[in-house]
Structure 1
């Protein structure tokens, strides 16, 4: 099926500070199945960028192969984007971020793309603290190849045609925490009210920001017996915290219960204001995040900002990379000549 461009009807739509409507942040028409959770994630991206007043062309979208990886065509049509090799998206994002740190890098992947063939690439992007928003649209199956179990399928979950999964799942949230990710969150495609502020916070975070998004596959994994169906997720859905994103330049007032909220400073001018269900929970405590996930494992789908660390340098700072994009540097600086090369080589003699 060929993608087509959406009709431009935006006369009565609200414009942001750049004078843009949500239509300016959309892409081509989706070719996914009607009701697919991935389309809700796309809508959340559109809303987050529009509300943050970010220019669409300042985004760079990278993806691998799979239903989720197709979705980069469905939002931010004026931005750069590339579908890379299956499981190799983090390498492309690493190279792009190294030469142009001024862009917002958005990686869209699936549970198969990230937790099977691409798990090594996923791990090293976290290890490097690559400055990007990495979304896993997690549905527990391989949708493009007729619904086989993926590495995130829970033990005992039943496939559409009756097969029962007997292998333990890989939880991307626990994996990211163990590898030292500096921003770890989980969302649900059916709760855009929570997902949009999580995306805003992740875009403002300087470093690797993972959002694992439970995104049901309506064709192969939305039936009784599936633990990643709409019905199951709604039944066991448990938001750990209420999240909101507060831009630095806008004054927002709200009433909070005493001791019921925590504000985490963010880079690029903003804060994430978190309302706790449990007043003892602190998203800056990595050990507590592990304990919370372990104690609720198998009983509830925990969502929200589970962990954040704003103290670690990102890949650019660690490697002392220049702030200016390489395409903005003079040729003489990029290629200093044979004399400079000879001077460098003397240091190895």
Structure 2
């Protein structure tokens, strides 16, 4: 998916790109594609349906399955998990969030904000597999996640609003204005969280993990994100719409270019 989305985005920058993947395609066979989409800051929303197992091949543990988590078969996973939110932060993702498929009030505003964000927006959605990984011993099961959620705060999304300024202290709200004028409202419940600091987000993810809690909500966002087209200064006109005249301007122009490089 990341490679297809990147190619489509390069061909037509005017479209909105929404990519949905699984924890297998993202953390295992597709890890290379995922990492390069992140580091290039492709302008897209990337959602991972993270259930900790391979649902299409009878429920084997995936790379995101926690140590000791038991699949439907009953065997505990012996390997360390890959935390995709932490990986995205380390690779340079400009929008990182985590939520739970059973928490629509939190997830819907995050999705709206991710779509409005200019750059790579990553949302790790814990999504229990009701067939193979929703048993009591699984740390990706519905009841376990419900009991171990720790939200960064109450998030709301208001499209096309003027910027509203406010103080940013523990227990208060912060408005993060996106480039298109839309605003994400974050109620800061943990005084240690700075959504503009990767280090802060990474540290809190580890702290909550040490207490067997899953930190959800908006974890990080770069308000000055420069997406891929801006970085490489690509054509404002969709590549699929370029004509032969656009692509081959003629001998005179090419001669001038060659002369400038001598």
In the superposition, the TM-score normalised over structure 2's length comes to 0.91
Matches of 2:36 and 2:127 in 1, distance apart? Answer: 25
Matches of 1:262 and 1:281 in 2, distance apart? Answer: 12
Matched, 1:205 2:109: no
Matches of 1:187 and 1:338 in 2, distance apart? Answer: 55
Matches of 2:51 and 2:12 in 1, distance apart? Answer: 32
Is this contact kept in 1: 2:162–2:181, CA < 8 A?
no
What secondary structure, in the 3-state scheme, does the structure 1 residue paired with 2:73 have? coil
Matches of 2:40 and 2:170 in 1, distance apart? Answer: 38
What secondary structure, in the 3-state scheme, does the structure 2 residue paired with 1:241 have? coil
Matches of 1:267 and 1:91 in 2, distance apart? Answer: 25
**Number of the residue aligned with 2:205:** 293
What secondary structure, in the 3-state scheme, does the structure 1 residue paired with 2:122 have? strand
What secondary structure, in the 3-state scheme, does the structure 2 residue paired with 1:297 have? helix
Matches of 1:90 and 1:336 in 2, distance apart? Answer: 32
**Number of the residue aligned with 2:137:** 225
Among candidates 238, 243, 246, match of residue 150 of structure 2 = 238
| Residues 112-132 of structure 1: per-residue CA shift (max 9 Å, x gap) | 001001111111111111110
Alignment of 1:1-349 (within 5 A): 89-249=1-161, 260-298=172-210, 299-337=212-250, 340-341=253-254, 343-344=256-257
What secondary structure, in the 3-state scheme, does the structure 1 residue paired with 2:146 have? helix
Q: 1:189 to 1:259 in 2, by over 3 A?
A: closer
Matches of 1:346 and 1:142 in 2, distance apart? Answer: 57
In the superposition, the TM-score normalised over structure 1's length comes to 0.69
Q: 1:259 to 1:162 in 2, by over 3 A?
A: closer
5+ residue gaps, structure 1, are 1-88
Is this contact kept in 1: 2:23–2:48, CA < 8 A?
yes
Q: 1:159 to 1:328 in 2, by over 3 A?
A: same
Tell me the matched-pair count.
258
Matches of 2:41 and 2:51 in 1, distance apart? Answer: 25
Is this contact kept in 1: 2:84–2:124, CA < 8 A?
yes
Is this contact kept in 2: 1:238–1:300, CA < 8 A?
yes
Q: CA deviation at 1:334?
A: 2.6
| Residues 136-183 of structure 1: per-residue CA shift (max 9 Å, x gap) | 000000000100110000000111112211000000001111111110
Q: 1:97 to 1:218 in 2, by over 3 A?
A: same
Matches of 2:252 and 2:131 in 1, distance apart? Answer: 63
CA RMSD of aligned residues (A): 2.2
